[in-house]
A and B are shown apart, each in its own frame.
Chain A
Amino acid sequence: MELAIEALSLQKRYAEVQAVAGINLQIARGEYFGMLGPNGAGKTTTVAMIYCFLPIEGGELYVLDMDVRKQARAIKARLGVVPQENNLDEELTVLENLLIYASYFGIDRQTATKRALAQLEFFELTAKQHVDVEALSGGMKRRLTIARAMMNEPDILILDEPTTGLDPEARHYIWQHLKQLKKTGLTLLLTTHYLEEASQLCDRIVVLDEGRILEEGQPAALITQHVGATVIEATLPQREHDSLLQTVQALLNGYMVIGETLYLHPGYNITTVLAKVQEHSKVETLTQRPANLEDVFLKLTGRRFGGA
């Protein structure tokens, strides 16, 4: 397997905080790979080391078989980076933004123009090419930032929370475009705290918390392994939790508690568990839904994603 990115016990510390505490990663070329975790989990720090912005402090890090400590310039020439915050040239037009960005890579004007027009076409921004960036919507700016990152025809596209702050429609739109790029053999590294984003896009994910990898695998497999297909959510006063659990615990794969809500993982015993919960007189609300990565995270950390 040819590796796009390899990290060996990678570490980074800010003053008293150990932001990345010994991470091992192997990302194959052509793979769509997601890093999931709550804010402060170390995702952004990790990718910033990969795109050679932050110096690494411990361990080894190779990108496209090059050492980040020695070949930063050569590595960066092969990466496309979409940062968390938009940093487009607001005073310039859409097309100018792409051309200027290409000039940082030393791409000649003619090639740059050709690529820029192709990218605008692909990201459906052709009609906006002569519009100043400040006039674009959030979703368009995001697409332009991704188009910009593609100007050097990168081997690896790194997206740091690409759809944070966008409405669901704009988000789905960007996912579609990213999915299409997979055919080109691109490697994609994505950080996100949207679990759906990771499920939609990624072949494989790692779940990060406090600078460590908690779990690694395919999104669907992780859900099956840790939770099962279905989750039953029941709300009832905390003092009643034990009485409900007594009746169903033997039927469950597992459960989690947050506040007054019980998250039951019934495995294949959905109907039986549901019936038992319905029989309990103190249950206030009851929901049955497909399990998702959030349940996995909850199970792994005992916390919800947002930290609540």
Chain B
Amino acid sequence: MHNYFQAFLSLNRYAWRVFARNMAVFKKTYKANIAFNFFEPLLYLAAMGMGLGAFVGSINGISYVQFIAPGMIASSAMWAASSECTYDSFVRMKMEKIYHAIVVTPINLHEVIAGELFTGTLKSVLYGSVILLVITGLGLVTSFYALLVPFVLLLCGIIFSELGMIWTGLVAKIDSFSYFFTLIITPMYLFSGVFFPIEALPDIVQTVAWFLPLYHVVTVLRSLVLGLISPALFGHILWLLCFAILIFPLPLLLIHKRFIK
């Protein structure tokens, strides 16, 4: 328990130095990365929005493509953070031995992980915001509340970075990450209201969906993009905030346990 609370002390300038290191590397590679990252959501938007949308007509009074566009922001942000803190972090930790290089300087391992989480969060905000720009260009954004989207993506980013990092702390091999995506990320993608309102599903599924972070992210983003503001949004934000804070120490403690014998 002591360690759990101690972990929060890693949110400091040393973690920030790790983040700055990752940004320096990212600056050299972002062009290829970012282009690749928003390509896939656009494919979904085109295939589902226009293809499927032709049959669906409208949902809750808005066109199908408008309905799924905010979900593409959320899913792009989710994939960005979760792949950063699984595959990319794993490569830095196990293959490039970057963690080893850093922990012999005044920075400790908890701070390295915190810096990794910042990195995943930034990428999440960035890749989500790119989709926001694209759907704005496509005329799918109808409210200035959409300007608040990047702030919600901060929460989305930290949560999925944490979840990815927890998995990284648990698995021994890089192949095991496919389970993370198959068992956690993909179901979340499908049942969080990205493609259809979860009200369409049985009550039990709706209850389960309430425990999925992406559900809250999608709900808030859709409301902001379409300007459907209600007090219920604060409930969702609060849920995300609490979740992000509560699980923060877990990846730090897990990686520490795995790394230092």
Asked if B105 and A87 make an inter-chain contact with CB atoms under 8 angstroms apart, the answer reads: no
Contact with B along A253-282 (1 / 0, CB 8 A): 000000000000000000000000000000
Asked if A72 and B108 make an inter-chain contact with CB atoms under 8 angstroms apart, the answer reads: yes
Q: Which of B96, B97, B107, B261 contacts A104 (CB 8 A)?
A: B107
Asked if A14 and B261 make an inter-chain contact with CB atoms under 8 angstroms apart, the answer reads: yes
B1 within 8 A of A: no
**Residues from chain B with Cβ under 8 Å of A14 in the complex:** 261
- State whether A101 and B29 are in contact (beta carbons under 8 Å apart), knowing that A87-B100, A89-B98 are contacts in the complex: no
- State whether A100 and B24 are in contact (beta carbons under 8 Å apart), knowing that A83-B100, A87-B98, A89-B98 are contacts in the complex: yes
Asked if A85 and B104 make an inter-chain contact with CB atoms under 8 angstroms apart, the answer reads: no
- State whether A105 and B97 are in contact (beta carbons under 8 Å apart), knowing that A54-B261, A55-B260, A92-B28 are contacts in the complex: no
Contact with A along B100-114 (1 / 0, CB 8 A): 111111111000000
**Residues from chain A with Cβ under 8 Å of B258 in the complex:** none
Bound Cα distance A100, B26 (Å): 13
**Residues from chain A with Cβ under 8 Å of B101 in the complex:** 83, 87-88, 101
Question: Interface residue count for A (Cβ, 8 Å)?
Answer: 30
A76 within 8 A of B: yes
Quick one: closest B residue to A77, CB to CB? B106
List CB contacts (< 8 Å) of B103-127 with chain A. 103-108
List CB contacts (< 8 Å) of B99-155 with chain A. 100-108
Asked if B104 and A101 make an inter-chain contact with CB atoms under 8 angstroms apart, the answer reads: no
Question: Interface residue count for B (Cβ, 8 Å)?
Answer: 23
Nearest CB of B to A255, in Å: 41
**Residues from chain A with Cβ under 8 Å of B104 in the complex:** 51-53, 76, 79, 81, 83
Contact with B along A68-106 (1 / 0, CB 8 A): 000011101101010101111111100010001101111
**Residues from chain A with Cβ under 8 Å of B20 in the complex:** 103
Quick one: closest A residue to B261, CB to CB? A14
Nearest CB of A to B142, in Å: 41
Quick one: closest B residue to A91, CB to CB? B25
**Residues from chain A with Cβ under 8 Å of B18 in the complex:** 104
**Residues from chain B with Cβ under 8 Å of A100 in the complex:** 21, 24
Asked if A103 and B21 make an inter-chain contact with CB atoms under 8 angstroms apart, the answer reads: yes
B17 within 8 A of A: yes
List CB contacts (< 8 Å) of A4-56 with chain B. 14, 51-55
Asked if B260 and A53 make an inter-chain contact with CB atoms under 8 angstroms apart, the answer reads: yes
**Residues from chain A with Cβ under 8 Å of B13 in the complex:** 106
**Residues from chain B with Cβ under 8 Å of A53 in the complex:** 100, 103-104, 260
**Residues from chain B with Cβ under 8 Å of A51 in the complex:** 104
**Residues from chain B with Cβ under 8 Å of A79 in the complex:** 104
- State whether A76 and B105 are in contact (beta carbons under 8 Å apart), knowing that A53-B260, A89-B98 are contacts in the complex: yes
- State whether A90 and B96 are in contact (beta carbons under 8 Å apart), knowing that A72-B108, A73-B108, A76-B106 are contacts in the complex: yes
Most chain B CB atoms below 10 A, which of A79, A85, A91, A104: A104
Asked if A54 and B21 make an inter-chain contact with CB atoms under 8 angstroms apart, the answer reads: no
Nearest CB of A to B155, in Å: 28
Asked if A104 and B105 make an inter-chain contact with CB atoms under 8 angstroms apart, the answer reads: yes
Bound Cα distance A83, B96 (Å): 13
Nearest CB of A to B31, in Å: 13
**Residues from chain B with Cβ under 8 Å of A52 in the complex:** 104
Bound Cα distance A170, B24 (Å): 30
Nearest CB of B to A177, in Å: 20
Quick one: closest A residue to B104, CB to CB? A81
**Residues from chain B with Cβ under 8 Å of A152 in the complex:** 105
**Residues from chain B with Cβ under 8 Å of A81 in the complex:** 104
**Residues from chain A with Cβ under 8 Å of B260 in the complex:** 53-55
**Residues from chain A with Cβ under 8 Å of B24 in the complex:** 92, 96, 100
Asked if B29 and A105 make an inter-chain contact with CB atoms under 8 angstroms apart, the answer reads: no
**Residues from chain A with Cβ under 8 Å of B17 in the complex:** 103-104, 106
Asked if A91 and B29 make an inter-chain contact with CB atoms under 8 angstroms apart, the answer reads: yes
Asked if B97 and A85 make an inter-chain contact with CB atoms under 8 angstroms apart, the answer reads: yes
**Residues from chain A with Cβ under 8 Å of B96 in the complex:** 87, 89-90
**Residues from chain B with Cβ under 8 Å of A103 in the complex:** 17, 20-21
**Residues from chain A with Cβ under 8 Å of B103 in the complex:** 53
Nearest CB of A to B178, in Å: 25
5 contacts between A and B (CB under 8 A): A53-B100, A73-B108, A76-B106, A77-B106, A104-B18
- Sorted nearest first, the 4 A-B pairs with minimum C-beta distance are A87-B97, A104-B105, A81-B104, A87-B101
Additional A-B contact list (18), CB under 8 Å, known A76-B104, A77-B105, A85-B100: A14-B261, A53-B104, A54-B260, A54-B261, A83-B97, A83-B101, A87-B97, A87-B101, A88-B101, A89-B96, A92-B28, A103-B21, A104-B17, A104-B18, A104-B105, A104-B106, A104-B107, A106-B106
